[in-house]
Amino acid sequence: MKLISIVGARPQFVKAAVISREIAIYNKKNPDNNIEEIIIHTGQHYDNNMSKIFFKEMQIPEPQYNLGICDCSHGAMTGRMLENIEVILKSVMPNAVLVYGDTNSTLAGALAASKLHLPVAHIEAGLRSFNRRMPEETNRVVTDHLSDFLFCPTETSVKNLHSEGIGSISNCFEKLPLVLNTGDVMLDAVNFYSRTGKSQINLRYFLDAAYDGYYLTTIHREENTNNKTCLKNIFAALRSIAKKRQVILPLHPRTKKFVSMFNINTNGISVIDPVGYFDLLNLLRHSKAVFTDSGGLQKEAYFFQKPCITLREETEWTELVEHGFNILTGANKNAIISAEKSFDSKKLDYSGNLYGNGHAGMAIIETLGKYLF
């Protein structure tokens, strides 16, 4: 059986690493029914620290195809990806195509496969922020409605799909589309790489004796970076917070461009280059809390039992907000500062289990093996 994985952005590399490892385990258990994995890298993240380093340090098989499509508008990027992916799929004709998350690479892969009547498996299906102004929301909604296998990280995401008429509520195992709550593959990744990954970052540089620990911050979404007012408000809040606790900011290439363009003041903030996954986990593990507009880092903060302040008006990870682990502030300076103060004095109970048992990758591969062989 041939499976094609389509990736293009950092969170997808992490998820693909989980799937690659589970395919290797599955093949050892099933020598007569092996799965051949073929990886297409669209090139959506082209910076070395945003792409190549992940393949190297996470031991993901090198992509057989690298399309090099980046640095263009949403329409141009998605269209070029669709065209190029279609050519590869026609040549390989895999048994199924795996897409991850909610990027342009996800949508292009799902469109190309569905038009060729190839089964589409969407990993991290069913997420909804209910904000159609976000390109990620459009990508995930369309991908879900094109998919045959919808692997959901939470029960909430299963319910979202059922409410849209995707899958059977009574017995979703009888026919496709198949909707299945596997748990979150990102939990698999954190559990595995927390034990095996080797971070190169020197934490002593950040553990300043003048501060009581540090906050980890990431900013990359268009609604924050491309908007001068939003970006200035976020950095104003971070500068204020940094007066009492160090703020570490691995600077995304897009954010770096707009920080320079808008002449944003970063004084007092510890701005560093983008970091690899192992370094990010290490920084997260020793942080006091997280400020981010990332989707994945909200969950990773929860996995490490760190409160999270999300610099967005909404989130697809609604259960984190409902249980008090996450506060949505948008780009409002006062709301960000207020959220930090509330978390600094609050104790949270992380004894629950919102994202499965850490074996999502195994459930996904065994399900595909059952249905496609």
**Closest among 360, 343, 241 to 301, alpha carbons compared:** 343
- By the 8 A CB rule, do 267 and 293 touch? no
The 3-state DSSP class for residue 263 equals coil
Q: Which residues contact 42 (CB under 8 A, 6 or more apart)?
A: 6, 7, 8, 67, 69, 81, 84, 85, 104, 105, 108
**Closest among 45, 44, 16 to 107, alpha carbons compared:** 44
CA distance linking residue 79 with residue 86, whole number of Å: 11
CA distance linking residue 184 with residue 188, whole number of Å: 7
Which residues in 4-14 are b (16+ Cβ under 10 Å) and which e?
Answer: bbbbbbbbbbb
CA distance linking residue 120 with residue 98, whole number of Å: 6
Which residues in 53-83 are b (16+ Cβ under 10 Å) and which e?
Answer: bbbebbebeebebebebbeeeeeebbbbbbe
- By the 8 A CB rule, do 41 and 8 touch? yes
**Closest among 140, 111, 135 to 123, alpha carbons compared:** 140
Of the residues 220, 252, 286, 359, only one is catalytic, namely 220
Active site residue 117: no
Q: Which residues pair with 291 in a beta bridge?
A: 217, 309
Residues tagged active-site: 220
